[in-house]
Amino acid sequence: MPEFDSNHVKNIVLLGHSGSGKTTLAESMLFEAGLIQRRGSIEEQNTVGDYSDLEKERGNSIFSKLLHAPWRGYKINILDTPGYDDFSGEMISALRVADTGVIVLNASAGVEVGTDIVWEYTEKFKTPTIFLVNKLDHEKADFDKTIEEAKNHFGNHVVVVQYPLNVGSGFNAIIDVLNMIMYQYGAEGAKPQKLPIPESEKAKAEELHKELIESIASNDETLMEKYFDQGELTEDEMKMGLHISMTRHELFPVFCASAKQNRGVARVMGYIDNVCPPACEMPPQPMKNGGTLPCDNKGPVCIFIYKTVIEPHIGELSFFKVFSGTVRTGMELVNESNSVTEKLNQLYVMEGNKRINVNELVAGDIGATLKLRNTHVNNTLHEKGKQIELRPIEFPEPTLSIAVANNKKGEEEKLASAMHQLREADPTIRVEVSAELGQTLLHCNGDMHLSVIKWKLQNLYHLDVQYMKPKIAYRETIRSKAESLYRHKKQSGGAGQFGEVTIRMEPWYEGMPEPENLNVRGRETIDLPWGGKLVYYNCIVGGVIDARFLPSILKGVMEKMHHGPLTGSYVIDVRVCVFDGKMHPVDSNDISFKIAGMMAFKEAFQKASPLLMEPVVALDVLCPDELTGSILGDLQMRRGIVEGFNTEGHFTVVKAMVPHSEMYQYSSTLRSLTQGRARFRMKFDHYAPVSPDLQKKLTESYKKEVPEMAEA
622-678: per-residue pLDDT in tens?
A: 988 899 999 999 999 999 999 999 988 778 999 999 999 999 989 889 988 988 888
Strand 341-343 and strand 9-15: pairing?
unpaired
Whether residue 710 has pLDDT greater than 70:
no
Taking only the tens place, the pLDDT of each residue in 201-214 is: 999 999 999 999 99
d(CA 539, CA 553) in angstroms, rounded, equals 13
Whether residue 120 has pLDDT greater than 60:
yes
Beta strands, E only, 325-374: 326-328, 332-335, 341-343, 347-351, 354-358, 360-362, 366-370
Q: If one looks up domain 400-468 in CATH, what number appears?
A: 3.30.70.870
Taking only the tens place, the pLDDT of each residue in 513-528 is: 999 999 999 999 999 9
Q: What architecture is domain 7-208+249-281?
A: 3-Layer(aba) Sandwich (3.40)
The answer to whether domain 400-468 and domain 612-694 are alike in fold is yes
Please name the fold of domain 476-608: Ribosomal Protein S5; domain 2 (3.30.230)
Alpha-carbon radius of gyration of the chain: 32
Strand 292-293 and strand 285-286: pairing?
antiparallel
What's the pLDDT at 712?
56
Query: What is this structure's pTM?
Result: 0.88
Cβ atoms 403, 395 nearer than 8 A? no
What is the band of 58 on the pLDDT scale with cuts at 50, 70, 90?
A: confident
- Taking CA atoms, 687 is separated from 520, 532, 659, 682, in Å, by 32, 11, 9, 15
What's the pLDDT at 308?
94
What's the pLDDT at 1?
42
What's the pLDDT at 191?
84
d(CA 316, CA 314) in angstroms, rounded, equals 7
Helix, strand, coil tally for the chain in percent (to 5): 30, 35, 35
Taking only the tens place, the pLDDT of each residue in 413-460 is: 999 999 998 998 899 999 999 989 999 999 999 889 999 999 999 998
In percent, how much of the chain has pLDDT > 70? Answer: 98
Count the helices and strands in the chain (H runs, E runs): 17, 38
What is the band of 494 on the pLDDT scale with cuts at 50, 70, 90?
A: low
Q: If one looks up domain 612-694 in CATH, what number appears?
A: 3.30.70.240
Alpha carbon distance, N-terminus to C-terminus of the chain: 73
Contact residues for 522 (Cβ-Cβ < 8 A; gap 6+):
537, 538, 550
Mark 260-294 as b/e (b = at least 16 C-beta within 10 Å).
bbbbbbbbbbebbbebbbbbbbbeebebeeeeebe
Whether residue 495 has pLDDT greater than 80:
no
The 8-class DSSP code of residue 146 comes to: H
What is the band of 493 on the pLDDT scale with cuts at 50, 70, 90?
A: low
Where in the chain are the domains?
7-208+249-281, 285-382, 400-468, 476-608, 612-694
Taking only the tens place, the pLDDT of each residue in 335-351 is: 999 999 999 999 999 99
Whether residue 2 has pLDDT greater than 50:
no
What's the pLDDT at 114?
82
Whether residue 112 has pLDDT greater than 90:
no
Q: Class assignment of domain 285-382? A: mainly beta
d(CA 641, CA 663) in angstroms, rounded, equals 13
Taking only the tens place, the pLDDT of each residue in 243-272 is: 999 999 999 999 999 999 999 999 999 999
Nearest to 475 by CA among 575, 615, 607: 615
